[in-house]
Structure 1
Amino acid sequence: MNNPGKLLIDADAPRDVPRNSQLRALINAVLDSVVAEGQVPPGEVFDEAQRIVRWHYQWMGVHEFLPHIVGEGRVKDLMRCHREDRCYRWRHEPFIPAEFAVAAYRFGHSQVRTGYAVNADFVAPKIFDASIPNTLPDPNDLRGGKRAPRRFVDWSLFFELGGRVLQISQRIDTTLSAPLFELPFNAPGLPSANPASLAQRNLLRGLVFGLPSGQDMARAMRIKPLKSDDLGDVSHLKLHRSTTPWFYMLREAEKCEQGKRLGPVGGRIVAEGVPRGPRRGQAVVPAGGPGLEALPGQEGWRVHHHRPAEVRRRGVA
């Protein structure tokens, strides 16, 4: 059960990794910007900052993130798809489908590199190094809960901001970087005997949640499943005809899309699970005011949408 008022973080996400800490700093900067403008009543400042951040996140999810991860064609098909034809159909309150959280959206684990350059002064040869004691205030890896000046991220090493060589993610496939098999932290609330291997944790989660096989998910979506030959390397485990969904979706991406994006089953689940913006009648303001425009793909109603350029002019980004 979720505890009211308590922030929930992925059980395997290390707390306060440098990336997450700086993203929270951006959220605080948006809040400060709204206060500085003085156009919002004091009691509504947080709600307004929340709207700005949320709608930027949702817009980028639909128009930048999803086309890269699942393909532009699948995104367009889904946006045109009638609600009753979708696999994920909530009625009273939105929820995160188990197939999304426990299987499909864990595709990113296969994209993690062994190590990263955080900035010009700090290169972590391993993203996590289990041989380093957790008591060190500034370990030479990227585990969370540590603060030091050298741990602040230079975002130009990760995004196309100009003039830097990017650290491109690995392709989506059934291989993981070595450090992910020896995680130096335990999932919160679980016994210390919890497996150190991230792959093992993912596979066990699928079993605990009782998820159907990747092949059964494909059939339910009227998608042709992978051939047994595509999964021949796990036939000795009797998994080539009934494959755990996390592994199935990684292999599907590898076989169907050369690892550049998710395949049809994983891509459909992720595309339906990522927020697509406010729904009709929710958080909508009258059209015609300053800074109002219809979000692409959401014609018929208008929302208050601060474009990234507008936020930069205010000294936020």
Structure 2
Amino acid sequence: MNFDDFRKLNLKFQPLSKPGFLSKGDTENLLAFMGGPDGSLETNLNERIPAGFTYLGQFITHDMITAERTETKFPTLRLRALYGNGPDEEEFYVHEESDIPYWVNLRKSNFKGDTLSVFKNVLFRMRYAEPNVSDMQRASIRTDKYDPVIAEKRNDRNYILSQLHCVFMQFHNAVAVWLHEHDQNLTGKNLLEATQRLVIWHYQWIIVNQFLPLLVGDTLVNQVMAGGFEFYDHTKSPVLMPEFSRAAFRIGHSQVREVYIFPKEEIPPVVNDQFKFPNLLRYTRRMRLFLNQNDEVIRKATLQRIAESISKDFNTYSMIEGVKITPQDALNRLKLELENNPGLSIADLDKFLEESLLPLIAESNDIESLKQRVHTKVQNKEANTNNALKAEGLVDMRGSVKRTQEDLFMEWAFFFDYQVKPYAARNYPPQASLAIDHLIAPPLFHLFFLSSRNSLPERDLEASHGNSKDRLPKGSELFNALNQVNALPANTPVLDDVLVKQHIPNMPIKLDKAPLWLYILLEAEILHKGQQLGPVGGRIIAEQILWVLMQDKQQSYLNLQPEWWPEAAFLHKNNKDPKNFGIVDLIEFSKSYLS
């Protein structure tokens, strides 16, 4: 089935036209317009949406759109990214009683028979599981391999997302223990299934009642929940629509901040109660999303020193009979590797040495000695690089990075709102996300973990525009479709070139050529000052997500038990109404079982 045929089966109307051709020059102008790698922005904030929801959105994306899934596959919101293929196939479950978390053992007196074996193949194994320090299991913590042992490896791409994944792992473990404490007949597979159902339903509740209203507004969520689908035919089995996956749900890239404030230790009550921001700085650190241009100077200088130092090591072996490379050759090859691969990491350099340079040395009794010296030098320089960044007041936020328990300290009040009722647990506000607008944080223009085409905005423009055969519809066509069925809020202005120029004079192309992703960003920026999505972007996201949940006949509370409410026992101590259950309640319940 071709692209247009697929869309005809699931769209309730057919857009009449698609955006005009986007030339290479247009793309380059748009990327510069969106900020570029040298841009700087921490000014356009979205005070309505705390920064943590940016990463909850990324977590939802990875759950709904698995790495191998295409538009024609069945999307779900069943926490597959958390549970994977179950304990029979996944190593991150507890398979031995000795792997059961220590805090479960402390609650042994609550269990019938005083045994912990009921939790085998039910709980998750974690490297650390403490109230403010958590980490998933790692492939190795003694070498340079820190790959996560989880179902969805993408959830370790950055520190905040990794910590959020740990929150859900801890929530699962806490719910399992809570269930068994209240029904001691629940064991083994039955306990796992009961736990999964509660965890999934509370996760879905947060999506429907907190995440979506913040992103698209309560009115639109209520309309769609009442059956007011205008774009998609929700009576059919849900599919992943390209307007959602390739455009609308990429708006989170606009909300990403370049630098985040993190705690470095627990903040004393006196600071919390008598909050003055300069005092709070004593207890915080800054983490940069990914290395930017300024950090590149540090990184490149470090790599250059490694290259020059290693060439001296080769000099030691230059007189050995059979050596096929001179010290200068080694240095030249290292420099060439640095020039040809601007995103080269220190781990990449180590791999290059191992695979490309060291094999050129003749077999000798001393070869292992040389390898050890080279690798030690690389590891020491890596530590020096991290120290140099810390000296600048920055910590690298990339995933799969070796972190100490001190580095892993997390206080979620910096990312979700603990000030609002019913929590009121902190006197300092959470960091805001960036506004949903056309500006993108500089680090996203140069992502090191992408081997080629490492500009995320460029990928987004390309994905949401497509080629002549699979181009997404114009945003204006989708807007007109809503207007024709009276599905727009009263007095909604038409987004056209005149309105865009009034608000954004330097817009480099006509709106007629704008990829759908950019149209959705502009719509939010101009109609809602970047605080929430406009009618087109908001409806695409609300309809796609609620379509998935309302048609899931196996694991969605909206389908199986639409009148269900969250468990009162899972509420924060100040929250008395299950209808107000949100991400803060989930986090705090998880922590309560760890202390």
TM-score category by the smaller chain?
Answer: 0.7 to 0.9
Counterparts of 1:300 and 1:145, CA distance in 2: 39
Q: Does 1:193 align with 2:464?
A: no
Q: Does 1:211 align with 2:472?
A: yes
Asked if the contact 1:253–1:263 (Cα under 8 Å) also holds between the matched residues in 2, the reply is yes
Task: Report the equivalent of 1:160.
Answer: 417
Question: What is the number of residues matched between the two proteins?
Answer: 297
Which deviates more from structure 2 when the two are superposed, residues 221-230 or residues 65-74?
221-230
Task: Report the equivalent of 2:365.
Answer: none
Task: Report the equivalent of 1:48.
Answer: 194
1:41-62 CA-to-partner distances (Å, cap 9, x unmatched) read 4222222122112111121122
Counterparts of 1:236 and 1:242, CA distance in 2: 10
Question: Which of 152, 173, 181 is matched with 1:28 structurally?
Answer: 173
> Where does structure 1 lack aligned partners over 5 or more consecutive residues?
187-191, 285-294
* Structure 1 residue 159: Cα displacement: 1.6
Asked if the contact 1:58–1:275 (Cα under 8 Å) also holds between the matched residues in 2, the reply is no
Percent of aligned positions with the same letter in both sequences?
Answer: 27
Going by fraction, where is helix more abundant, 1 or 2? 2
Which deviates more from structure 2 when the two are superposed, residues 304-313 or residues 20-29?
304-313
Task: Report the equivalent of 2:359.
Answer: none
Q: Does 1:184 align with 2:443?
A: no
Q: Does 1:124 align with 2:294?
A: no
Counterparts of 2:167 and 2:561, CA distance in 1: 36
1:150-199 CA-to-partner distances (Å, cap 9, x unmatched) read 1342101112222333111111111011112221211xxxxx322x2221
Aligned 1:84-99 pairs, distance under 5 A: 85-90=229-234, 93-99=237-243
Which deviates more from structure 2 when the two are superposed, residues 155-164 or residues 243-252?
155-164
1:259-307 CA-to-partner distances (Å, cap 9, x unmatched) read 11000101111111224756596559xxxxxxxxxx8x98985447424
Letter in 2 for 1:107: I
Could you state the TM-score of these two structures normalised by the residue count of structure 2?
0.44
Counterparts of 2:259 and 2:511, CA distance in 1: 32
* SS of equivalent to 1:274: helix
Task: Report the equivalent of 1:257.
Answer: 528
Task: Report the equivalent of 1:289.
Answer: none
- The 1:231–1:278 alpha-carbon spacing in structure 2 relative to 1, beyond 3 Å, is closer
Counterparts of 1:28 and 1:264, CA distance in 2: 39
Q: Does 1:240 align with 2:511?
A: yes
* SS of equivalent to 1:153: coil
Which deviates more from structure 2 when the two are superposed, residues 115-124 or residues 63-72?
115-124
Counterparts of 1:126 and 1:117, CA distance in 2: 9
Letter in 2 for 1:269: I
Counterparts of 1:313 and 1:53, CA distance in 2: 11
Q: Does 1:226 align with 2:472?
A: no
Aligned 1:53-68 pairs, distance under 5 A: 53-68=199-214
Asked if the contact 1:30–1:316 (Cα under 8 Å) also holds between the matched residues in 2, the reply is no
Which deviates more from structure 2 when the two are superposed, residues 196-205 or residues 85-94?
85-94
Q: Which has the higher contact order (CA 8 A, sep 6+)?
A: 2
* Structure 1 residue 66: Cα displacement: 1.6
> Where does structure 2 lack aligned partners over 5 or more consecutive residues?
1-67, 71-79, 86-150, 266-283, 300-344, 348-381, 387-394, 419-425, 573-585
- The 1:282–1:34 alpha-carbon spacing in structure 2 relative to 1, beyond 3 Å, is same
Q: Does 1:108 align with 2:252?
A: yes
1:109-142 CA-to-partner distances (Å, cap 9, x unmatched) read 1111111122235633421115354535895221
Could you state the TM-score of these two structures normalised by the residue count of structure 1?
0.78
Asked if the contact 2:461–2:515 (Cα under 8 Å) also holds between the matched residues in 1, the reply is yes
Counterparts of 1:146 and 1:314, CA distance in 2: 24
Report the aligned-residue RMSD.
3.6
Counterparts of 1:11 and 1:231, CA distance in 2: 36
